[in-house]
């Protein structure tokens, strides 16, 4: 289908069972607070982008395919020119996950990692783009049985990814610009120091930048303010402790850097939609 610049085609709800969107951007555009409870598939048709994915930045070029697990922080921003075209798919466990007739553990194997990057060859790009084109057409036309066919096409795409080797080569400092390299370092530091007191002035001083510069650049790259990212990192670790240990709630709050049990409870509920106690009951291993 023919797209108008900066006017995306969208089908479904990003937090629903199935969502697909194709857009050709000509103007700067960035998502904020980008984290959700569905699996994501991102394919870059043209242009260049940089992805911040769970404490690291990855440079993307046309033909790159990225799979992002549920609950993983990620954000896309431009490298130079904002012009690019991409397709994004989000789907839930209910659409193709456990219990579905088409489900096979192999299909979701790539999501066992936080995120997977696939560098496709020219021949693989043709295959992937034909498959994605069929999905866009089905979503646009919505003919009888379109949901069945979308599931079949998604199954084929996931099987392709599960069989394809993941590009696990770390980016060299030369591949990252100085801003993204700095934000990667800061995010990694937060990930290893979440239990301590972390403030904007202290982090700015540690990494030799001004608080103003750190505040603006961190949000531009990650989609989160610094304090939002700190709290999110702490809550994600708290979730792990609630699932895997018998620590009391107040001990979990202390171990993850929250100043009080009340603050922990409020922030946990804000970011997860439930209380720490209920989360533990529903997710004990």
Question: Residue 35: what pLDDT?
Answer: 73
57, 183 Cβ separation under 8 angstroms:
yes
Beta bridge partners of 86: 23, 44
Low-confidence ranges of the chain (pLDDT < 50): 172-175
Look at strands 64-68 and 115-119 and give their pairing.
Answer: antiparallel
47, 81 Cβ separation under 8 angstroms:
yes
Q: pTM for this structure? A: 0.79
Question: Residue 176: what pLDDT?
Answer: 54
Alpha carbon 138 to its chain centroid, in Å, reads 25
Question: Residue 115: what pLDDT?
Answer: 86
Question: Residue 140: what pLDDT?
Answer: 95
30, 223 Cβ separation under 8 angstroms:
yes
Task: Summarize pLDDT for 175-190 with one digit per residue, the tens.
Answer: 456 888 888 899 999 9
- Secondary structure (3-state) at 85: strand
Question: Residue 174: what pLDDT?
Answer: 47
* Other C-beta atoms lying within 10 Å of the C-beta of residue 135: 23
Alpha carbon 123 to its chain centroid, in Å, reads 27
Question: Residue 99: what pLDDT?
Answer: 67
3-state helix, strand, coil in the chain (%, to 5): 45, 20, 30
Q: CA 128, CA 122: separation in Å to the nearest integer? A: 10
Structural domains in the chain plus CATH codes: 9-163 (2.60.120.280), 177-283 (1.10.10.60)
Question: Residue 98: what pLDDT?
Answer: 64
Geometric angle at alpha carbon 74, from 68 and 79, rounded to 5°: 110
């Amino acid at each position: 289908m023919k797209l108008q610049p900066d006017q995306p085609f969208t089908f479904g709800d990003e937090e629903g069972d199935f969502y697909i969107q194709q857009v050709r951007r000509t103007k700067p555009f960035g998502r904020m607070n980008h984290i959700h409870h569905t699996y994501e598939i991102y394919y870059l048709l043209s242009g260049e982008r940089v992805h911040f994915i769970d404490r690291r930045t990855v440079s993307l070029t046309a033909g790159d395919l990225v799979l992002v697990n549920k609950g993983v922080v990620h954000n896309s921003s431009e490298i130079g020119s904002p012009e690019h075209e991409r397709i994004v798919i989000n789907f839930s466990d209910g659409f193709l996950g456990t219990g579905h007739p088409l489900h096979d553990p192999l299909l979701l194997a790539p999501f066992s990692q936080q995120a997977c990057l696939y560098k496709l060859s020219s021949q693989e790009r043709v295959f992937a783009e034909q498959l994605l084109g069929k999905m866009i057409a089905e979503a646009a036309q919505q003919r009888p049985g379109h949901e069945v066919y979308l599931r079949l096409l998604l199954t084929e795409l996931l099987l392709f990814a599960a069989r394809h080797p993941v590009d696990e080569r770390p980016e060299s400092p030369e591949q990252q610009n100085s801003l993204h390299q700095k934000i990667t370092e800061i995010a990694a530091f937060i990930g290893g120091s979440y239990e301590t007191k972390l403030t904007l002035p202290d982090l700015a001083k540690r990494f030799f930048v001004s608080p103003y510069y750190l505040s603006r650049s961190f949000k531009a790259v990650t989609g989160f303010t610094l304090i939002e990212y700190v709290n999110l990192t702490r809550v994600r670790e708290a979730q792990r402790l609630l699932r895997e240990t018998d620590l009391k709630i107040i001990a979990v709050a202390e171990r993850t850097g929250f100043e009080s049990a009340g603050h922990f409870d409020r922030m946990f509920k804000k970011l997860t939609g439930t209380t720490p106690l209920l989360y533990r009951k529903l997710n004990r291993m």
